[in-house]
Amino acid sequence: MILAALLLAQTTPTKLPPANPLPPPGAEESAVLAPIEAMFAGLAARDGAKVLAQTRPEGSATVAIEKPDGTRSLKHLSWAEFTGGIKPGPERYEERSGTPAIDIDGDIAMVWAPYQFLVDGKVHHCGVNHFDLVRESGQWKVLNVTWSQRTTGCEAP
């Protein structure tokens, strides 16, 4: 028993090996992310038409809002309603996303990532984005986006 413990101690590392970074997205994952990144660029430019160009017309946007007092609400918008709310203005919009989880099966894909939404460089709200996409004629389009939205606990993604 003692010999076995000594042998185990000699072969068991005393610390974990260094962490390796995640590999960069492959070509297929990059293609899935392209319309999402274009949507964020349209939002930053405050151009609803650029956002709408990345979507499928039958899709929609849904937000699950959590207020600081803990009350919750759900708001469902058509793409026209969602992009109609994107108007020119003096504020600078920026969306920062964490490392996304991407799943692809044939012509459907799902992207899930934490985010922070900034207005003029200050965190306005945060949560998680969930996109579902479809590929048609070789092009990925956002069918639906659902996101959580809160103003507390907004650490960098």
Q: Could you tell me the pLDDT band of residue 26, with boundaries at 50, 70 and 90?
A: confident
Q: Please give the CATH architecture assigned to the domain spanning 27-150.
A: Roll (3.10)
Residues 62, 81: contact at Cβ < 8 Å? no
Residues 113, 127: contact at Cβ < 8 Å? no
What's the CA gap between 5 and 9, in Å, rounded?
6
Chain segment 54-77, per-residue pLDDT in tens: 999 999 999 999 999 999 999 999
What's the CA gap between 114 and 37, in Å, rounded?
14
What's the CA gap between 89 and 36, in Å, rounded?
22
The arithmetic mean of pLDDT across residues 20-31, rounded, is 73
Side chain identity at 23, as an amino acid letter?
P
* Half-sphere exposure in the Cβ direction for 59 (13 Å, CA): 20
Residues 74, 64: contact at Cβ < 8 Å? yes
The arithmetic mean of pLDDT across residues 100-127, rounded, is 97
Side chain identity at 38, as an amino acid letter?
A
Q: Could you tell me the pLDDT band of residue 16, with boundaries at 50, 70 and 90?
A: low
Q: DSSP for 90-125? A: SSPEEEEE-PPEEEEETTEEEEEEEEEEEETTEEEE
Q: Work out the percent of the chain whose per-residue pLDDT is above 70.
A: 84
pLDDT at 18: 59
What's the CA gap between 35 and 140, in Å, rounded?
7
Q: Could you tell me the pLDDT band of residue 136, with boundaries at 50, 70 and 90?
A: very high
Separate counts of helices (H) and strands (E) for the chain: 4, 7
Q: Report domain extents, the chain.
A: 27-150
Structure tokens at 27: 């070509």
